[in-house]
Structure 1
């Protein structure tokens, strides 16, 4: 199949090496241990590494990679880190290992962000620290064989977790203050019979007191009382104490509800007051005529499309935006238009913006709640955004059907969106949270944040979340607000703070700051063409 090695071109040599790499991946090998892959010779490895198709992790271990990723790009590593740790641990310890109780409990509670420092336990470990790429590390902690219990994680990474009841018993009291949300969600999930049985079997009277106090704080008063009574009946002295330092956020819903949904409910409850306070200084329009508001939204279209598409990395010009807005874009008759990814994005944005303006007018002219109307209409937004790609033959019609069926990762972010199965629980929960919220500013800011947190689609999440934000702002008395490309770094960093660390303040400050800045400017200033010099400067 290949020409003689001495006569082969560099491209043919690289193709031969890629053929070997593909054969390994076809066998389901995601992490490559060089000593276990003799077909991947040193020549093949060096050739693939030089071309960027393989990256070393630690000595003797490699990961397939995207050659378009720069050396500082951490996206692929964060997406592959847990898979690597599982493969490395299996090679070192067979199946005689598990994650630490702390990390296991985080996983059980629906925490999806990447843990840059991972600790695993094994009787065969030697308390060794291993550095990993991008400032990550692995610590292999030696434990007694009898402490090793666990079951495979339901995720695709292959990590072995300490089961939920055992993890709750084993974590230190500091976990309840350092990871308050994870502890609360875990306490709402745990089976009280299993938990009590383990406490009795191990004679854990002190831990039983902590569990009883924690259960009561999490709203399971009857179960807390039952645990204490059972322990006392067995002859144990139990002193109940609450390990949480402050009252817990209200979650609501069912105890056995998806941990991702419980996490969302708790975040909304704990974040909303800070958003409400930030909106106290934000000007709100009173009694604006519907047609006047719609004219204002239409006037902002070109500027809004330019900034929103530029934030997502599309290379759009004002001429392109106006071309599709005026109906001059035709993928059926123009080969250039058909092939232009940027033109398709601009056309989809124009269609969605037009639909949304009409929809806002309908909602404001009716008595229907904006959140209820959003739930009924939202699927049309996604279809409008991507139907041009279907028309051009780039996407299949079935791609417009609904939520994603694969895992997604956000570039260079520690936050990992929930898996595709969890999305089907999270999106109805988001609709419920929006309907239960009475402050339009909270619906806008937390609705935007939660939508990106869930990341329900393979593409378009950023644009759709900003459409959601502006729909809730304009139907709540606030102006349509452009998230400018100049604020991109601050905006994305604030989203990461909220997603990974639960800190909503930076994101509320970014959005409210943009509302205040643009509300203080005449519409002519906001919508001036970039050739006037204005769009190269912050809108402040």
Structure 2
């Protein structure tokens, strides 16, 4: 028999991982050093910094950084198994309880395997902090939870309640408060958690916060535990609630919807509106409404350019000649499927654009958003693709029914089962939001792509809905240009992952200001329309 060469060992190992759908693991699972070298040199294997984990690469995932990010939760599972017994805890557990599967900058893990304390890097900017259990005689007692299809072990909620530091609460205030707002525990669970980790000041702090967000049951449970073990219950002065830890009005004033993730989404919308309104005031956007006829005329003037930019942003390779031909009603036919997809995308956007203006025209005053309106625009956007048999009619039936991932982003949109309720809250909140038109448009835009209610077309629809709100407020149709794509996506990412809404609010407000300047300068409008 011939000698087995590293190439054969490497490819056999790689093929086995693909067939088993084992896309990530620990160093113990790797083939010998020579086979590893072959895999790395041929773009079939990527190691984490420090080599504590690996992911397989292939034609669909050839970029090492991207593959490591996409397999983040599989790598977390590898860490939990390597340090077993180990659990995800502190603020990282709260995120998972709230159904947030996006990769956090720092994940907290506690283990009881040894005294090791480390910080493992997945990729630059994404780390896992591992610390040993303070009391070796204690038991972790984690619970299994599925995150993005991966089974992970998480500290139970009652014990997480006693693991949150002041820094956790201060840095992730709205997350913690919306979790507490609808948290339901049994008294025995809370009693047991306290007996394991008796921390009266910390637990009293959580009780004061629970009371402040309207969870009276949890607040009373906490009081019973603290009073049973302490002669004097720690006061708000000692716990810092109301002084260092302030509960915002937009959370305290709204009763819980009894779905933690839905309360969380509603709080995000309120916070985004608060920040957005401040940004609009700082930039001093001219909010003077123009006559409806003027707004509609300006929008039609912007149509060709907006169609070009909004479609190009999504990766379609089109030219302004394509756009002009489609808008002029030229016959659309090509034996090239990719060419037809591009042409139908342009035609669909044109139809959705016209439907958007019709909503503005038909409304007696401010347009009220609705789920039916969104679904209507979705059908307009993709109708030509269905007619051309590029898509099926089944793909136009309602909200998405499968998970979706955003290329190049660490943000993971909510599970499909949550989309209908979130879109209901989205429309209702937008309609009741008492802010200026620019802020409302920016929040609606970000929140729509945050939910990602469809498998495709979310970006284009979010820009149409943004302009629907702007035109309804008698402000100009605003174009986001293809060359601004990176800044635009980065601002959305800041809002999605860090809850920093200022960059996106500023991005939209400055583009509205630019549209106002163009509207007042016909020469500028001509230059933009010419593509200069």
Q: Normalized against structure 2, the TM-score is what?
A: 0.85
Query: Which residue, 132, 151, 176 being the options, matches 1:142?
Result: 132
Correspondence for 1:87: 78
Helix, strand or coil at the partner of 2:131: strand
Correspondence for 2:264: 263
Query: Which residue, 284, 287, 296 being the options, matches 1:284?
Result: 287
Would the aligned equivalents of 1:98 and 1:148 in 2 still touch at CA under 8 Å?
Answer: yes
Name the CA shift for 1:409/1:65 in 2 (closer, same or farther; >3 Å).
farther
Name the CA shift for 1:66/1:528 in 2 (closer, same or farther; >3 Å).
farther
Query: Aligned runs of 1:390-469 on 2, under 5 Å?
Result: 390-439=386-435, 440-469=437-466
Task: State the shift of 1:37 in Å.
Answer: 6.8
Helix, strand or coil at the partner of 1:120: strand
Is 1:52 the counterpart of 2:43 in the alignment?
A: yes
Query: Aligned runs of 1:470-481 on 2, under 5 Å?
Result: 470-481=467-478
Task: State the shift of 1:377 in Å.
Answer: 1.7
Name the CA shift for 1:529/1:305 in 2 (closer, same or farther; >3 Å).
farther
Query: Aligned equivalents of 2:123 and 2:194: distance in 1?
Result: 43
Query: Aligned equivalents of 1:87 and 1:344: distance in 2?
Result: 45
Task: State the shift of 1:338 in Å.
Answer: 6.2
Name the CA shift for 1:490/1:386 in 2 (closer, same or farther; >3 Å).
same
Query: Which residue, 286, 289, 311 being the options, matches 1:309?
Result: 311
Helix, strand or coil at the partner of 2:233: coil
Task: State the shift of 1:68 in Å.
Answer: 6.6
Correspondence for 2:246: 246
Correspondence for 1:205: 200
The runs of at least 4 aligned residues of structure 1 exceeding 6 Å deviation read: 16-20
Name the CA shift for 1:32/1:191 in 2 (closer, same or farther; >3 Å).
closer
Give CA-to-partner distance per residue, 1:148-178, whole Å, 9 cap, x none. Answer: 1211123223221111121011222222112
Give CA-to-partner distance per residue, 1:48-99, whole Å, 9 cap, x none. Answer: 544534323364853233547675x744322211211203432x245x2111
Correspondence for 1:9: none
Query: Aligned equivalents of 1:282 and 1:337: distance in 2?
Result: 44
Would the aligned equivalents of 2:210 and 2:216 in 1 still touch at CA under 8 Å?
Answer: yes
Correspondence for 2:358: 358
Helix, strand or coil at the partner of 2:461: helix
Give CA-to-partner distance per residue, 1:17-53, whole Å, 9 cap, x none. Answer: 8787455334342325575476x9965x666544534
Is 1:321 the counterpart of 2:310 in the alignment?
A: no
Correspondence for 1:492: 489
Give CA-to-partner distance per residue, 1:381-426, whole Å, 9 cap, x none. Answer: 1122223333333333212123233333334433322222232332
Name the CA shift for 1:455/1:343 in 2 (closer, same or farther; >3 Å).
same
Correspondence for 1:528: 526
Would the aligned equivalents of 1:48 and 1:54 in 2 still touch at CA under 8 Å?
Answer: yes
Name the CA shift for 1:353/1:46 in 2 (closer, same or farther; >3 Å).
farther
Task: State the shift of 1:185 in Å.
Answer: 1.7
Q: Normalized against structure 1, the TM-score is what?
A: 0.84
Task: State the shift of 1:509 in Å.
Answer: 1.4
Query: Aligned equivalents of 2:223 and 2:53: distance in 1?
Result: 50
Helix, strand or coil at the partner of 1:481: coil
Helix, strand or coil at the partner of 1:140: strand
Runs of 5+ consecutive residues of structure 1 not aligned to the other structure? 7-12
Task: State the shift of 1:469 in Å.
Answer: 0.5
Task: State the shift of 1:294 in Å.
Answer: 2.4
Would the aligned equivalents of 1:275 and 1:445 in 2 still touch at CA under 8 Å?
Answer: yes
Give CA-to-partner distance per residue, 1:321-364, whole Å, 9 cap, x none. Answer: 11222222434xx313664432232122112112222222112x
Correspondence for 2:223: 228
Would the aligned equivalents of 1:109 and 1:183 in 2 still touch at CA under 8 Å?
Answer: no
Would the aligned equivalents of 1:518 and 1:526 in 2 still touch at CA under 8 Å?
Answer: no
Would the aligned equivalents of 2:159 and 2:193 in 1 still touch at CA under 8 Å?
Answer: no
Query: Aligned equivalents of 1:326 and 1:32: distance in 2?
Result: 55
Query: Aligned equivalents of 2:124 and 2:390: distance in 1?
Result: 35
